């Protein structure tokens, strides 16, 4: 907020007015002295009123994280209390969001903005009386995927004449986030589910949980000694084996290959031409929208999804494995909304993925295009061969392995 008050209502301005008043008294100019003295009193009152206006203003939020898809409206709520015995003539409250924030005021509140002026999430109040509590409900429009974290609220106030104003950042004991999910579009997950079923049949499609015993039967040739029920053998002398509970492995593991969207370009930085890494943002958002749409589409089809987000510029990679279909959409779409990639180095933890493979499910790697060059990859060194889903129209990669294209999933 730009300062709107007078330059006289500052410590320097007040000192200058006091000196001018003394000079007028010394020169014996009573009319000028009276005018300067009245102006000094007015500016002093405005200065001290503005300093006290924002004292003891309590702020409390009325909600947890707000979640929405692009284009949707959500309502932010806050409570402000004037906990002092001095009225506040005017008060303006703002959520501190930048011009690149994922939320903005509704379109009707942005009318009349000057060219280049950024829309702000704000509300103004007049005459907040002592000990009065006011409730602020602010409609906010989700504009793009991302997360906007609110840890403080900016308050502005001043005197009634507009001679002085003050700004205060009120920290929030319990902040919240605006979470905007990727855009959801129509997809047909049948190509993924068909590959999943084929891969399950090729490896029997099941695994057994050694902690769950469903039955006991007589020993047969070929049974593992680890399955023998040694307690029954000790008691009854009969050789019997435990039959463990069979668990289905219907889970898709979706992995955004963020590094495939990076490219290098020449930019002028501080007057010098430098080579910097950037990302194809439009294609990246399209890929994240595709992954989010698949998560929504397979939810409720007896299929769980997991998500692997690679390490970005040295930050830890994330392996997210929801256990319940009822909560997986919210959990996974929130993780996708939190991705902030602008062309940095990305590394998948192949060894960790191989170790946790039984929990992740079948791997599907989403890339912008097919990788160049051949040779053994880090995936293959760890015994992993993820199926690749690409945004281009290619049908096979350089090694002749099958891929799935975006067109197969969207029909476009």
pLDDT of residue 100: 67
pLDDT of residue 180: 95
Sheet strands (E) in 83-237: 88-95, 103-104, 121-128, 133-142, 146-158, 165-180, 206-218
> Within 114-241, where are the H helices?
190-202, 230-236
User: Which structure tokens are listed for 376?
Assistant: 């053994």
pTM (2 d.p.): 0.77
pLDDT of residue 203: 42
Please identify every stretch of the chain with a pLDDT value under 50, giving residue numbers as ranges. 1-3, 201-209, 211, 246-249
**Contact, 384 vs 255, CB < 8 A?**
no
**Contact, 51 vs 32, CB < 8 A?**
no
Q: Report the sign of the C-alpha dihedral through residues 208, 211, 217, 218, in that order.
A: positive
Using one digit for the tens of pLDDT, what is the confidence trace for 247-287? 444 788 999 999 999 988 887 777 788 888 899 999 999 99
pLDDT of residue 201: 47
Say what percent of the chain tops pLDDT 70.
85
């Amino acid at each position: 907020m730009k300062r709107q008050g007078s330059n006289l209502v500052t410590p320097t301005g007040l000192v200058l007015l006091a000196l001018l008043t003394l000079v007028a008294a010394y020169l014996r100019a009573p009319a000028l002295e009276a005018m300067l003295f009245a102006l000094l009193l007015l500016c002093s009152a405005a200065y001290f009123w503005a300093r006290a206006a924002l004292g003891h203003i309590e702020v409390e939020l009325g909600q947890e994280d707000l979640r929405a898809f692009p284009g949707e409206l959500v309502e932010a709520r806050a409570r402000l209390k004037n906990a002092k015995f001095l009225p506040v003539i005017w008060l303006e409250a703002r959520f501190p969001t930048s011009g690149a924030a994922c939320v903005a005021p509704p379109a009707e509140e942005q009318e009349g903005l000057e060219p280049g002026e950024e829309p702000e999430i704000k509300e103004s109040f007049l005459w907040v009386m002592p000990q009065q509590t006011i409730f602020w409900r602010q409609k906010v429009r989700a504009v793009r995927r991302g997360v906007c974290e609110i840890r403080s609220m900016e308050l502005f106030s001043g005197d009634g004449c507009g001679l002085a104003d003050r700004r205060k950042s009120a920290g929030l004991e319990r902040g919240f986030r605006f979470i905007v999910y990727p855009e959801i579009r129509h997809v047909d997950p049948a190509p993924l589910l068909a590959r999943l079923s084929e891969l399950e049949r090729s490896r029997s499609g099941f695994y057994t949980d050694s902690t769950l015993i469903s039955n006991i039967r007589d020993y047969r040739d070929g049974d593992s000694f680890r399955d023998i029920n040694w307690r029954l053998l000790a008691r009854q002398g009969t050789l019997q084996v435990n039959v463990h509970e069979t668990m289905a492995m219907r889970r898709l593991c979706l992995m955004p290959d963020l590094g495939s969207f990076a490219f290098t370009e020449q930019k002028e930085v501080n007057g010098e031409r430098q080579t910097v890494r950037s990302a194809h943002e439009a294609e990246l958002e399209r890929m994240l929208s595709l992954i989010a749409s698949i998560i929504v589409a397979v939810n409720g089809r007896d299929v769980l999804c997991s998500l692997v987000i690679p390490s970005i510029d040295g930050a830890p990679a994330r392996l997210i494995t929801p256990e319940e279909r009822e909560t997986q959409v919210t959990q996974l779409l929130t993780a996708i909304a939190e991705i902030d990639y602008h062309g940095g180095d990305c590394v998948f933890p192949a060894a960790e993925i191989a170790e946790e493979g039984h929990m992740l499910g079948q791997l599907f790697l989403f890339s912008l295009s097919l990788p160049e060059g051949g040779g053994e990859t880090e995936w293959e060194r760890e015994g992993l061969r993820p199926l690749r889903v690409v945004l281009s129209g290619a049908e096979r990669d350089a090694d002749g392995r099958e891929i799935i294209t975006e067109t197969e999933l969207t029909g476009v």
